[in-house]
Structure 1
């Protein structure tokens, strides 16, 4: 028996760094690892195609990875070259760079990114008229990780959205992330387990840290951050160096396997996104670990947190974040209650459920024909 059309090329901004060596650490990349594992298990041959400083070909975890020399200011030209080079089936990892989608293809939406602060209505309109409309019209199916994208697309393109968009929220692996006994420690630890990118809320959080550290001698902040963007690290270290209480501003660069221990040591987890957020992996992992979560009411976070039940859902401002942190610092029993409800909620986002939903759509759009 021969399986036809087994090959699926995944177009993505960057699975590996632009030099083709180090893996990029982030939610999109984590998502693609899990999806490629599922596709491989189902019998498909997966390859990745991404941006690069120079053309390259390598492998990552057994999957071929092809880099295409790219200009950051004209990424659409790189996607065009990918389209011209790759034959057969393509799965598009995001709605970001391209305006052309092959028939019988799936595109993934990871959130509403055109809510960028400072964007004018004209900028926002150009984003969805050029990129979102192209995906809705041409792709067979758009898998969205949250209902925020579906609702926005439905408001702008109601007929197309209902035809093309289906929601599969992000997942958490409950075999790795689960409540565990917390070691006794003298300080209350607030964890920020995120990239330092502007959309993830680092600028918002660093505004509230100095007065809180001055107010609470037994408080500390822990940053679990990646090394993907050196300029963000430089900003972080410059800020930390100037902080009067920087001995209580800790940081680490853990790999994914170390994250359960990082969460376990925390009392409070902050997810202070400003824009472009889906159903955050960090939020789901913190919930599954039974932690008290403070999240902003941005994007798909509203699909995860019910304010006052399994976390605190706040407006993304300094005042609201300060108020929420003070409340949880002062009320340890509330931290435990919210964390217990968060862990129960996280069971609805088990990775096995995510895989089962994806299997249905993969089999429908990319059927494996047999001879």
Structure 2
């Protein structure tokens, strides 16, 4: 192994810098992108050189972001596995497959994979499609030395449908939050301000933007002193973007609907100005970074009982855990708006919950995983 290979960790992922809108001067504001960003910081802190290779639908690029080389690779949407194999062929050092583990990729030996949550947990997927995914995941576990799972759902899934000899080959490492940065904000002075309900997610179908819009219709009609903020990325030119803009423009309570996209360093502001967070995911959810950040800022969370959210939210203690349906979510938000004592109690428990997912613990565990794998490579 050359000196470059010994010192390099290459992360392969489908998105990091904003390939959705062609703004490669910044990361896209999603959970995957925040994860990759934090992982690069861990690698740098170990004295190693992180490199990110990502897919790019709009054309190839090669740039540097905060000292990290990021290279975009063109690909065809129906040939993602081939694109990952091409990126791996060009990569140096230890490879970490940061996403797309459910695609039939031929993995480089002695590599690590990450599962950011089960994306095939849809009740309406065909049996054949789910069987195909099971076969692909089983093959991924066979080829990869280690798979890091951000939630217990994937671990349980693998133990249920896959066959592998070493139970330690899948490492449960939940997502984390910087509890020193994400701290409670609104205090007694907030009593005179309108109550604020926050949707801190990418505005996409699987993240529950449609039930959130229906929730907004009901809550704004019933509560004249409530503001609802959509704090997340919206990819213009999509059907969801067109529907969202039409809905806001025609809404009778348009003045109490806010939408803003926050950078990594700014998003704390959204949480600290809110009273309740809503995480209405329909499918494809790991240990939600948005949920952890909201809790670390002392927000009770109304959450759908999907994926890794079940690992964080304890119904009635630090938030509400309900079916991913607009009516159930609306009723849970309504109950918290009506009960200030319950909001305050859940706020305190939410903050305590977040402390168990502190970023420093995550950093230490990832350093150990990378050091061990580099030892195997050498």
TM-score, normalised via structure 2 length: 0.92
Moved more, 203-212 or 145-154: 203-212
Partners of 1:197 and 1:358 in 2: CA distance: 30
Decide which of 119, 133, 136 is 2:125's aligned counterpart.
119
* Aligned positions, number: 368
Runs of 4+ aligned residues of structure 1 deviating over 6 Å after TM superposition are: none
Q: Give the CA deviation at 1:369.
A: 8.8
What is the root-mean-square deviation of aligned Cα atoms in Å?
A: 2.0
Decide which of 59, 64, 67 is 1:59's aligned counterpart.
64
- 2:266 alignment counterpart: 258
The question of whether the paired residues in 1 share the 8 Å contact of 2:29 and 2:232 is answered with no
Which structure 2 residues correspond to residues 174-253 of structure 1 after superposition, within 5 A?
A: 174-182=179-187, 183-184=189-190, 185-231=192-238, 232-253=240-261
Partners of 2:83 and 2:179 in 1: CA distance: 38
The question of whether the paired residues in 1 share the 8 Å contact of 2:276 and 2:301 is answered with yes
Cα separation, partners in 2 of 1:153 and 1:13, compared to 1, 3 Å: same
The question of whether the paired residues in 1 share the 8 Å contact of 2:280 and 2:303 is answered with yes
Q: Give the CA deviation at 1:208.
A: 2.2
Structure 1 unaligned regions, length at least 5: none
Q: Give the CA deviation at 1:45.
A: 1.4
- 1:142 alignment counterpart: 147
- 1:42 alignment counterpart: 46
Partners of 1:282 and 1:149 in 2: CA distance: 19
Q: Give the CA deviation at 1:83.
A: 2.7
Which structure 2 residues correspond to residues 291-302 of structure 1 after superposition, within 5 A?
A: 291-302=299-310
- 1:338 alignment counterpart: 346
- 2:9 alignment counterpart: 8
CA offsets, 1:25-77, max 9 Å, x none?
Answer: 21111011111111111121111111123222111111111121111222222
Q: Give the CA deviation at 1:284.
A: 0.4
Say whether 1:270 aligns with 2:278: yes
Give SS of 2:212's match.
helix
Partners of 1:163 and 1:172 in 2: CA distance: 25
Q: Give the CA deviation at 1:312.
A: 0.7
Which structure 2 residues correspond to residues 30-179 of structure 1 after superposition, within 5 A?
A: 30-52=34-56, 53-94=58-99, 95-130=101-136, 132-157=137-162, 159-160=164-165, 162-179=167-184
Moved more, 96-105 or 47-56: 96-105
Q: Give the CA deviation at 1:219.
A: 1.9
Partners of 2:236 and 2:77 in 1: CA distance: 15
- 1:288 alignment counterpart: 296
CA offsets, 1:300-354, max 9 Å, x none?
Answer: 0011011111111111112211210110010011000001001011111110010
Decide which of 356, 365, 370 is 2:373's aligned counterpart.
365
Partners of 1:20 and 1:100 in 2: CA distance: 30
Cα separation, partners in 2 of 1:369 and 1:116, compared to 1, 3 Å: closer
Q: Give the CA deviation at 1:233.
A: 3.0
Q: Give the CA deviation at 1:205.
A: 1.3
The question of whether the paired residues in 2 share the 8 Å contact of 1:48 and 1:65 is answered with yes
Partners of 2:206 and 2:362 in 1: CA distance: 25
Partners of 1:290 and 1:330 in 2: CA distance: 18
Structure 2 unaligned regions, length at least 5: none
TM-score, normalised via structure 1 length: 0.94
Q: Give the CA deviation at 1:3.
A: 8.5
Partners of 1:252 and 1:311 in 2: CA distance: 24
Cα separation, partners in 2 of 1:263 and 1:66, compared to 1, 3 Å: same
- 1:350 alignment counterpart: 358
Partners of 2:235 and 2:51 in 1: CA distance: 22
CA offsets, 1:130-149, max 9 Å, x none?
Answer: 2x122210000000000011
Give SS of 1:207's match.
helix
Partners of 2:375 and 2:253 in 1: CA distance: 58
Decide which of 320, 333, 355 is 2:328's aligned counterpart.
320
